[in-house]
Amino acid sequence: MLKRFIPNEYIPSVYDLDLDHLHERNIKGIITDLDNTLVEWDRPEATPELLSWVKLVKNKGFQVTIVSNNNKKRVSAFSKPSGITFIHSAKKPLGRAFRKAKKDMGLHTNEVVVIGDQVLTDVFGGNRSGFYTVLVVPIAKTDGMLTKINRNIERRVLKRLKDKGHVQWEES
pLDDT number for residue 147: 67
Residue 68 near residue 33, CB atoms below 8 Å: yes
Q: In this model, does residue 140 exceed pLDDT 90?
A: no
Query: Dihedral of the CA atoms 34, 40, 42, 44 (nearest 10)?
Result: -70
Which DSSP letter does residue 133 get? E
Q: In this model, does residue 11 exceed pLDDT 60?
A: yes
Tell me whether residue 40 is exposed, middle or buried, using C-beta atoms within 10 angstroms of its C-beta: 0 to 12, 13 to 18, 19 or more.
middle
**Tell me: the pLDDT tens digits for 69-105?**
999 999 999 999 888 999 999 999 999 999 999 999 9
CB atoms under 10 Å from CB of 13, counted, come to 16
pLDDT number for residue 172: 44
What average pLDDT does the segment 6-16 reach?
94
141 versus 94: the higher-pLDDT residue is 94
Superfamily of domain 2-163: HAD superfamily/HAD-like (3.40.50.1000)
pLDDT number for residue 1: 61
Angle ∠(113,33,164) on CA atoms, nearest 5: 70
pLDDT class of 5 with cuts at 50, 70, 90? confident
Q: How far apart are the first and last CA of the chain?
A: 25
Side-chain-side CA neighbours of 65 within 13 Å: the count stands at: 22
59 versus 82: the higher-pLDDT residue is 59
pLDDT number for residue 54: 95
**CA-CA distance, 153 to 61, in Å (whole number)?**
36
pLDDT number for residue 154: 74
**CA-CA distance, 121 to 67, in Å (whole number)?**
11
**Tell me: the pLDDT tens digits for 98-121?**
999 999 999 999 999 999 999 989
